Structure 1
Amino acid sequence: MSHVPPSSTPSSPRLTALDAVHRALGATMTDFAGWDMPLRYGSERDEHNAVRTRAGLFDLSHMGEITVSGPAAAQLLDYALVGNIGSVAVGRARYTMICQEDGGILDDLIVYRLAEDTPGADTFMVVANASNAQTVLDALTARAAGFDAEVRDDRDAYALLAVQGPESPGILKSLTDADLDGLKYYAGLPGTVAGVPALIARTGYTGEDGFELFVEPRYAERLWQALTEAGAGVGLVPCGLSCRDTLRLEAGMPLYGNELTTGLTPFDAGLGRVVKFEKTSNDGDFVGRTALAAAAERAASAPPRKLVGLVAEGRRVPRAGYQVVAGGAVVGEVTSGAPSPTLGKPIAMAYVDASHAEPGTAGVGVDIRGSHEPYEVVALPFYKRQK
């Protein structure tokens, strides 16, 4: 086993390969997880609605790419992560998590199994959230001891662009001869887009159909301009992190640091399905197995607080940390909240006691600065696209 030592954390925000493009477009920039990122270019509501009805173009180069390769790469990931990564087919991707020994969630991840360059040279790309990329890299490196596999920090090797929305397949088809019709959701294939070599993945974080394009940073501006020109006729607009958050909230997708934390296991978060106790390697052993088995048993016998949706009856917007109340008692806590451009009302995700988690439960409210505002309990997601 060999590994590349983790890089030190820079003191000033890192810039993506598209930084000059964002500034030329007049983007409002923000420091996010150590990166200078576009928050919005104009109206975040307009950007949100463009993704829902047409298409949006995102710079996601702050995400953390980690390559795991070698004869025992699959066995390492089966041990290090909660999912059955060895069963992922070449060209496919899987949503999974990396947990602490006590079952607490370190991060949620997408793992792509890439084509083998040579027989036995198994290669995976692990994509971590920007805020947790170093933590995930360090954990994978530590857990690689004893495995014939290499863990490599590839955060500087990729720029990541995403085109999301109902017009995105048509936009991308005009720039590539890759078989997009045959590319399933949570799959990826190598190809060229506007002459740029790319890993083309049908993944996203908006609730819409769309693609994420992993390319070398030197090609990022060229690809951004090509996508901008190809989408001009169908209403594609550049989009920042602000609308990305409202899009994922409407789609009921969890955000690390809000719905997912080290204080919660996947079972506490209602995502126990990602934990696979039956694995084909390492005799089924993986980091956190004992604690997660106990968490699964607790969840089955006495369900923990459940993640639900809340829709406001009024106009006041709930924020993370606000208390959910019913009958004069605290029954939960908001994890994410924002105005919903699609629903036209404030919405929130919250962990609430099982007794108040059923859709339509009466008498539930959110304590907003001392006022108990009425909210309707609904099942997640708030929005689901028409197929």
Structure 2
Amino acid sequence: MADLKRTPLYELHVQAGAKIVDFGGWEMPVQYKGIIEEHNACRTAAGIFDVSHMGEIDVKGPDALTYVNRLITNNAANMAVKQCLYSPMCYADGGVVDDLLVYKMADDHFFIIVNAANTDKDFEWFTQNAAGMNVQVDNISPQTAQIAVQGPKAAGILQKITDIDLSAIKYYWFDYGKVDGIDSIISRTGYTGEDGFEIYVNSASAVQIWEKTMATGKGEGLAPVGLGARDTLRLEARLPLYGHELSRDISPLEAGLDIFVKFDKGDFNGRAALLQQKENGVSRKLAGFEMVGRGIARSHYPVTKDSLEIGRVTSGSFAPTLNKNIGLALVQTEYAAPGTDLAIEIRGRAIPAKVVKTPFYVRSK
């Protein structure tokens, strides 16, 4: 793994006994004590995640809003300063370049979070689309670290080391504050289905903030969480993963993300293709399922109905919170309705499954 990148927290993960894997060109912890234990810690207490591998792109200039709105399918024109926005970003044919978070820093300044494995590709796409626009686009990923603290006790733990009132930050909003004396951007966002925060700091301060948060949460059940439980947490909450539920070949409408495609805002990359999909109806659709028979569905496993292949699994796992085997699959639209009986091909055997409503898990408010 000599050529792989490392986050500023890599050595801490090794010291904690984490199992390290190659994830999108990064050496990342897949688990520490175990995926189920880490998953449950996040659901019942709190989990801390190193997400410093994610990409950060800064957009500034008089044309910043026009530029961002042309790139994304959602509508940034409705954002207030200090608000966050989730959106797919599409090619002309409606396929997805990436899905991302947009932070509005000022009327002429947006801070955009992209997926780690897509950072270079996305920055090139951002640069191509900046032609003729009065904007400055910078990849600030190397100097930016990101730490997420998620779970029912996340706010209480972070509040002890933060100088701002976290209860004043609404869901999908952010503020500026100090965490253990370090200047930070603190947003009430996450990828787990739980309440929680994501903290952006300069890379040099990541170790200090991680260690301080861990020490503060020690008596509260705070646990470091690797990529394994991050995946099971997001799957239970039906949050898409690029390369699985979204891709160059899977549009936002096929993925069931219609709410994030704003046709009335004017032109944007992929609008014509997506509008045609909307008017004609999509021929395939993302559906959630539970296994009825024994077995765990994995990505790319065939989905069948009466022995005919009707789609493929995009993600599948044991769900610790539900004590069930669940998954998401892109199937022919007529088979995507909850209650539909299906089968998943697992090692040559057709294992019964049933389409269910999603998200699989919704936290109690």
Measured against the shorter chain, the TM-score band is over 0.9
- Asked if 1:289 is matched to 2:247, the reply is no
Q: Which runs of 5+ in 1 are unaligned?
A: 1-9
Counterpart for residue 43 of structure 1: 34
Amino acid in structure 2 at the alignment position of 1:368: I
Alignment of 1:223-234 (within 5 A): 223-234=209-220
Instruction: Say which SS state the counterpart of residue 95 (structure 1) adopts.
Output: strand
The equivalences for 1:80-91 within 5 A come to: 80-91=71-82
**2:362 counterpart of 1:384:** yes
Deviations 1:98-124 (A, max 9, x none): 11111111100100001x4xxx7x211
Name the SS for the 1:339 alignment partner.
strand
Determine whether 1:55 maps to 2:46. yes
Partner of 1:149: 135
SS in 1 for 2:334: helix
Give the match's secondary structure for 2:311: strand
Matched residue SS, 2:20: strand
TM superposition shift of 1:305: 1.9
Q: Select which of 55, 72, 93 maps to 2:63.
A: 72
Equivalenced residues, count: 365
Q: Deviations over 1:297-353 (max 9, x none)?
A: 122xxx422211111123311111111112221222111011111111211111222
* 1:172-183 equivalence runs, <5 A: 172-183=158-169
| TM superposition score normalised by structure 2 | 0.97
* Residue of structure 1 in register with 2:110 after alignment: 124
Task: Give the residue type in structure 2 aligned to 1:14.
Answer: K
Shift of 1:53: 0.5
Distance 1:64 1:102 in 2: 24
Superposition deviation, residue 11 in structure 1: 7.9
Is 1:106 equivalent to 2:92 in the alignment? no
Q: Provide TM-score, normalisation by structure 1.
A: 0.92
Tell me, yes or no, if structure 1 residue 370 matches structure 2 residue 348: yes
Report the counterpart of residue 311 of structure 1 in structure 2. 290
Q: Which one of 227, 252, 265 corresponds to residue 251 of structure 2?
A: 265
Please name the residue that 1:28 is paired with. Answer: 19
* 1:333 corresponding residue in structure 2: 312
| 1:315–1:345 contact (8 Å) kept in structure 2 | no
The counterpart of 2:204, out of the listed 218, 240, 243, is 218
CA distance in 1, matches of 2:190, 2:302: 30
Identity across matched positions, percent: 44
Partner of 1:346: 325
Deviation at 1:278, TM superposition (A): 2.2
Q: Are 2:316 and 2:327, in contact at CA under 8 Å, matched by a contact in 1?
A: yes
Give the Cα separation in 1 of the matches to 2:42 and 2:196.
10
The CA deviation at 1:232 is: 0.7
Conserved 8 A contact 1:106-1:262: yes
The root-mean-square deviation of aligned C-alpha atoms, in Å, is 1.4
SS of the aligned residue for 2:253 comes to coil
Counterpart CA distance in 1 for 2:185 and 2:314 is 33
Residue of structure 2 aligned with 1:323, choices 302, 319, 329? 302
Q: Answer whether contact 1:51 1:164 (CA < 8 A) is retained.
A: yes
Alignment of 1:193-204 (within 5 A): 193-204=179-190
2: distance between equivalents of 1:214 and 1:356? 42
Contact 2:60-2:136 within 8 A present in 1 as well? yes
Q: Is the 8 A contact 1:204 1:211 kept in 2?
A: yes
- Report the alpha carbon displacement of residue 35 of structure 1 after superposing the two structures with TM: 1.0
Aligned match of 1:298: 280
Q: CA deviation at 1:181?
A: 1.1
Partner in structure 1 of residue 87 of structure 2: 96
Per-residue deviation, 1:138: 0.7
Q: Is the 1:56–1:238 Cα contact (8 Å) retained in structure 2?
A: yes
Q: Which stretch has the larger CA shift, 309-318 or 238-247? A: 309-318
Partner Cα distance (2:334, 2:82) in 1: 43
Residue pair 1:13, 1:31 contacting (<8 A) in 2 also? yes
Q: Secondary structure at the match of 2:259?
A: helix
In the TM superposition, residue 168 of structure 1 has moved relative to its aligned partner by 0.2
CA deviation after TM superposition for structure 1 residue 292, in Å: 1.7
Mapped contact 2:294–2:351 kept (Cα < 8 A): no
Tell me the alpha carbon deviations over residues 134-190 of structure 1, each in whole angstroms, 9 at most, x when there is no partner.
111111111111111100011112100000000001001111121211111111111
Tell me, in whole angstroms, the C-alpha distance in 1 between the residues paired with 2:61 and 2:327: 43
Measure the CA separation in 2 of the matches of 1:21 and 1:181: 30
For residues 220-271 of structure 1, give each alpha carbon's deviation from its aligned partner in whole angstroms, at most 9, with x where no partner exists: 0110011101111110011100100010011111110011011122112111
